[in-house]
Every structure is written in structure tokens, then in C-alpha cells.
Structure 1
């Protein structure tokens, strides 16, 4: 089959369907007209035959018409003006009498038909419609009255109708094809716009989107789906770009430190203790780079918790205890007092992986930025909307103007005043990314120099 574009294929399929319907309609029209015509002829023919049946006399073996004035009527005298031909015959087929308009001609009775049956035959090579009715006397068939009517004009009507329909069919098909092709082209115009737009989109202009049709139909859904796909692609490329930029920026310092340390080692021969000290410094920088890469990779991942391995849940109180046990060394170093207030909401189930990431960073920051001998209060509670974990520390606090920026990667509030506190400025970015993945919400309030309170809210649908 020849290759056609989508518009022409739609038009062709529509044409095939309509051609079948048109053929059926034309055939129906033809036979309907034909049946109507023959019904009208047969009704007129039967009427004439039965009307004259009452004007027949049967004497012995002779049959004749009794009312000769009937032959004076125009329809019996004039052959050219819709005449009705009548003929009387005995049971042997002998002609007993006939209408004057037959002149020297006669009708041929077909014995294969009986009763009031109508059929086509010819009179002097001219088509006629004929019927024959039994002439009975006291229940005995004495002969037949044969009636006929010319059907040349009727057959000409049928012939003209068939030629008209046959000529109209291809013309109709051509018009239907052109109309359906135009309508198909108009219908798929949004698809052409989609093709044009998507063909124009590259990595340099991923922000462009497919225009949405005005009507919310299948094409609207297709455009929406394509735009959603473009959004995900753009987000993935942005994460890749951000990861590359952040990795290049953040790894430069530890790599420079590591390079400087190694250059010192190879400049001249040193004693064992100096080698060990510089190797330890190098290992610290390697660990720092590993931490940076691990955290950047987490930020670069897709923020959807669709992986089945991430669907495991755990009680919130159990998860908090687990995180605190991992932070035991840091808690002990600062001699902090940890108090946890919990009730039945502590049994609220939260996603283990993402919940662990969130609380690890939130509690880690609370411990890291608390003053020596300070206190960290952890409250597990809930409301009809869900459960929340409120972590309040007695630490350095956050400046009010920095609260809008604390989720930015590598942002550290008032960094120069507490340079001794190690960190990358990625903790809250990671916590927020994990919260978005499971539909949780993080809110932070703080008073500079006194305290910081972080509330992590888990909706009911999270569990």
C-alpha cells in the first residue's frame, strides 16, 4: 500500500467508510424507486383488468366484451398515450376478443403464471407490463382476461436514475475525499503544532512548551503529557548541571588542600611522624570529598519515593532513637542533655529511608550548633492532619534575614562567626529534598543567639 501521511490516511479511511454507505444508499434508492414504480403499475393494471372483468359475457364457448362504448375511451383508442391493452382468451389459448388499440397485434399469455401475477414481456419489441385473471362461471374457468400496459417511460426513468447514481457516485467520492481531507487537516493542526514545537526544542531552550489546545480533548491530554515530560527532562538536566557546578566548586578546595599536602611530602624527605600527620590530613580531605559527593548525589536524584526499596516504614520514636544513637559521640563531646517528649504519636509510621535522612540532618544541626552543656528538646506529637517532630536547641540561632535562604545549597548563616563548626551547608537542602519526596513539610523558627526550633510534619498519607 502506498505511503500516505496521517491527514490523507484519515481522509482515505473516511472515504472507504462513506463509499460503502453511499453504495448501500444508492442501491436502496434505486430498488425503492423500482419497487414503487412497479407497485403503481401493477395496481393500475389490476384495477383495469378487474374493472373490465364485470363487462364480459360468456355464452357457450364464446367470450366477449358487452360494453362496446368502453372502447371509445381515449386510453383504448390511442396507443401512444398510456393505453391499457385488453384481450380475452379461452382455456385453449384462442383469442376471443380484444381492445381496438391492439389492432393487428395480440398479447401472448404466459401459462407459467397464474392468478393475478404481474410480469414483464414485449409487444412488437416494446416492453410492457402484463397480468392475466381467470374468467370463471359457476366456479369453472371459462377463459382469461389479459391486461397489459407499456412501461417504456418507466424503464427510461429507472435507466436515467441508474446512470445518475453511477455518475454521482465518483463525483460524491471526490468531494467527500476533499472535504474529509480538509477537516482531517484542520483536526490534526494541533498535532502539527506539537511536532513543530518539539522539533524546535533543544537543550538550549528546554523552557519552551507545547501550546495547549483550547478544547480539553485527547490532543489537550497529549500536549499536557508532553509538557510534563519536558518538565521532567528539564529538571533532570538542571540537576545534572547543578551537580556538575556544585561538584566543581566544592571539590576544588579539598583537592587543592590534598595536592598541597602531597607536594609538601615529595619536596624533601621527612620523618615518619610528619608523613603520618600529612597522610591523616589527606585522609580527612578524602573523607570530606566523599561526603560532598554523597550529599551532592542525593540532591541530584529524582525527588520521588517510587522505588520499592524506599517504601519501608518505621515508628517515628524508633527512628529518632536510632538517629540519636548515631549522634552519641557528638552529643557526648558537647555534654548535651537530650529530652524526648512522646505519646502514642511516637508509633506513627514514617518512611524509613527519607525519614532517616531528614532527622539525621535536623538533629545533626541541632547538636552541631548547640552551645556546650546545652539542651535539645525533641517533641513527638500530632493532630488530625498527621504527626510532627519538633526539635528545639539552645544554640547559636539563625538571623531573621537568613531564614529565607537556609535551604539553598552551601548556604551557611553567619559562617564567619562560627567557622569552627564543620559543615558544607547542604544539610537543610538535603532534608528539604527528602521531605518533598514523601510529602512532608519542614518549618523553621529561630532567635539569634538563643534557640532554633525545627518542625517536621508528616501527613497521614505519608505513613
Structure 2
């Protein structure tokens, strides 16, 4: 199969050839019409002159008005012109000397047209050794109906048109050669730049995603292509960095509970113990397994969300009922920490979401609020409508979010200063998972600090019609 470069050159040449051919055809047609028109005008002028002379010579013998040789100045009008005068029946009454014994044709259809007063033009290809162009003009001399026929050779016209064909063909070939050479050079330059970009792009792989394609310096299509590819490389580099960090953090978070689990089992097996100690160890191991199970489930859900596979069909959900049910499930845990969870709900608000994922989002936010709130504190959940969004907000009375941490709270495995210091447990996936779920249903989560003390999270879902 031909390369794109060659196909482009061939298409370019085909278009130019079509345009040149059309222009040459129109030019040749116009030239032919002009040259033949000039010949017709000259023949008609001579015929009308002869008719005028016949009218002036009323009563005399019918003859072609030619000056005897050597008695008049040169007459370019009569040069190579054959003149013949006929009557209504086609009988030849007079002819020019240069016609000799030959006669110009006067068939019956022509006589009928002349009788009707029409001036008739004809092309006669085979009357004599040269093709002729003839005009027949009707004339009335006294009471007689006559016609003057004047013919001229078409050789000069045909030679002019033949020369024009050669000229147009030569110009077309020269133009095609010049345009083809220029087009080939231009496409070679353009595709050479594209090939150079492709070659340099192939050299950029996973190990050197920090490299970028050199910009040609011009603000043209090639420059825009390089800018687009470099932007894509930026996004790929960020994606690979996120993937590497995600893999490293996931490995670390899985390795830590496994190490604790193994250590606890090894310590327990070093010497015989009573049943109570074994039960305590098993319970501790079960807690580690539960934390690992939750971590793996969250990782799997994030992976499915990234791949677009985790999307329960949307339905109309009452956020008031959702908040009540979630608060009821979390009441035992909040009571243990002496945290009061308050629902501030006005009129019923409905959203287009899936109940299960929306409940998981609110559960994660409430668990975070309970973890970071001091004993005796209060967590408030509000339900409201704002424009075309249904809003769930959760605020607490904890320390709030550090300004340095605020832009990163929804990053995967990101843990704030308090969490990193071991003040609260967690692996940093809850908010990332909640944000991914909100995005999957056309919503988002916004994080901020309250004016007083504490953090404020707002979940915005599409409002149900």
C-alpha cells in the first residue's frame, strides 16, 4: 500500500491536473470561438459588401465585383475568399475568378432557409482540397431573389487551434512538473518533521517519561502537534507516578498488617500458653485480618471504579432517609467515643444516585469525623438542595485540616499530620474512594475548615427532577 506521503502527492497532482485540464479546455474553446467568430465576421462583411454592390448596379448584368488585375490597390478583404451568386433555384449566376470551374454547394435545405430570409453559416469539410467555412446571405435585386455565398479556408483557423493545443499541452506539462516537484518537496519537508517527531516519541518509554519532544519553535500545526504530545506525556508521567506510588503504598499497607500478624503468631507459639492467651491472640489476629480485608476491598473497588466497572444504576434516593439510616448504623461506635451525631434535615431532598455507594460515602465521612472529634464533641449532618445539586454536609469539632494537607486529602494513601503521627488509625483510602464514587455518579466532594474549629465536607450529587 502506498504511503500517506505518496498518496498525498498523487492526490495533489490529480487535482492540479484536473484544474489545468479544465482551464486548458475552456481556454481552447474560447480561442476556437474567437477565431471562428473572426472568420465568420470577415465572410459576412464581404458578403454584405457584395450585396450592396449588386443593389447599386440595378439593371446591369449579375457579376462578382472584382477589380481587374493590376488596376486596384491590394484588397485583404477578398484574399483567399471564394464568392458565388445564385438565384432562388440554386443556379450559379456569377462566381469569383479564384473559384474557377468549381461551385459552392447550394442544397435544397439551404435554399429554403435563404427563401425565408435567413443568413446561413456552414462548415464544408470536403468541397475542395481544404475545409471551408461559408456564409450565404439572401438578397433581393429588383424583383429577383438572389443569394451571395462567400467561403474562406479553415486551414489558418485549424493551424491556430492546433498550435494552441501544443502550447496548452506544453504549459500543462511544465506546470504539472513544477507543481509536482514543489508538492513533493513540501510534503517531504512536512512529513520529514512528522517522522522526526515519531522517531523521538518512540524513544520515550516508561523509564524516561520525563523527556519531552523538542519544539520546532513555530506556532503552526507541527508546533501544535508537539505541544499536544508533550501534554499527553505530562499526563502519562503523572499517571505512572500515581500508579507507582499507589503500588508502593498498597504494598506497604498490606505488608504492615501481615508483619504484625506473623510476629504475633510467632511470639504466641514460642511457649505453651493457656486457652485465654490463645483466644486473645486469635482475636487480635482476627482484627488484623478484618483490617486487611477492608483494605483489599477498598483497593478492588477503586480499581473497578478506575476501569468503569463499578457503577450501580442510578435511582431516585431520599438523602434524608439515607442520612437517618447511616446515623443509626454508626450510633454504637459514636456512643463508645462519647460523640454525638446530630441530623439537621429540612424538607425532603432527593438525588439521582445509587443507594449503596452513596451510603458508603456518607459512612466514610462520618467515620472520619468521629475519629478526629474529641470525646464529648458533636458531628452535624445536614441535608439541603443548592441549585441543581443535592448536598450532604458533615462537620465536626476536631482539629480541622492543616492548610498544607487540604489540597491532598482526596489523594490515595494520603494521611494528614495527625494520622501519620499515629493519633488515629487508617490507611488513607476512605476519602479517595468516596471522591471516586461521587465522580462516578456525576457529583463531587469538597473539603474545607469551619470558621470556628473543625473540618467541613460537602457531598454534591445531581438533584432528582
Q: TM-score w.r.t. structure 2 length?
A: 0.77
Distance 1:89 1:390 in 2: 113
Deviation at 1:384, TM superposition (A): 5.1
Distance 1:185 1:364 in 2: 64
Distance 1:117 1:254 in 2: 109
Distance 1:47 1:416 in 2: 111
Deviation at 1:163, TM superposition (A): 1.2
Pairing 1:42-441 to 2, within 5 Å after superposition: 42-56=40-54, 63-65=62-64, 72-75=71-74, 82-88=79-85, 97-100=94-97, 102=98, 105-112=100-107, 114=110, 115=114, 116-120=120-124, 125-126=129-130, 128-133=132-137, 140-141=144-145, 145-184=148-187, 192=195, 195-196=198-199, 198-206=201-209, 233-234=236-237, 236-264=239-267, 267=270, 272-298=275-301, 308-309=311-312, 311-344=314-347, 347-349=349-351, 351=353, 352=355, 355-381=358-384, 386=389, 388-395=391-398, 397-398=399-400, 400=402, 403-404=405-406, 407=409, 409-414=413-418, 419=423, 421-434=424-437, 438-441=443-446
Change (3 A) 1:365 1:237: same
Look up the SS of the partner of 2:37 in the other structure. helix
Contact 2:121–2:133 under 8 Å retained in 1: no
Change (3 A) 1:139 1:207: farther
Cα distance per residue 1:80-133 (max 9 Å; x no partner) = x93433344568877654445x2x834431234724333245797455433444
Q: What are the ranges of 5 or more consecutive residues in structure 2 without an aligned counterpart?
A: 115-119
Contact 1:338–1:375 under 8 Å retained in 2: yes
Cα distance per residue 1:177-205 (max 9 Å; x no partner) = 23334455566677557634543432234
2:447 corresponds in structure 1 to: 442
Distance 2:67 2:217 in 1: 84
Distance 1:55 1:209 in 2: 92
Q: TM-score w.r.t. structure 1 length?
A: 0.77
Matching residue within 5, 17, 20 for 2:18: 20
Cα distance per residue 1:352-395 (max 9 Å; x no partner) = 45543432222112223334444333333455585544434455
Cα distance per residue 1:145-192 (max 9 Å; x no partner) = 442334443332112111112222222222232333445556667755
Contact 1:121–1:130 under 8 Å retained in 2: no
Contact 1:135–1:141 under 8 Å retained in 2: yes
Look up the SS of the partner of 1:258 in the other structure. helix
Change (3 A) 1:317 1:284: same
Contact 1:84–1:147 under 8 Å retained in 2: yes
Corresponding pairs, count:
448
Distance 1:217 1:96 in 2: 80
Matching residue within 428, 453, 456 for 1:454: 456
Deviation at 1:315, TM superposition (A): 2.7
Look up the SS of the partner of 1:441 in the other structure. strand
Distance 1:348 1:374 in 2: 29
Contact 1:258–1:285 under 8 Å retained in 2: yes
Contact 2:58–2:142 under 8 Å retained in 1: no
Distance 2:121 2:404 in 1: 107
Look up the SS of the partner of 2:134 in the other structure. strand
Q: What are the ranges of 5 or more consecutive residues in structure 1 without an aligned counterpart?
A: none
Look up the SS of the partner of 1:339 in the other structure. strand
Distance 2:53 2:70 in 1: 12
Cα distance per residue 1:323-353 (max 9 Å; x no partner) = 2222132123234333222212x51526445
Distance 2:223 2:316 in 1: 40
Deviation at 1:135, TM superposition (A): 6.0
Look up the SS of the partner of 2:256 in the other structure. helix
RMSD of aligned C-alpha atoms? 4.4
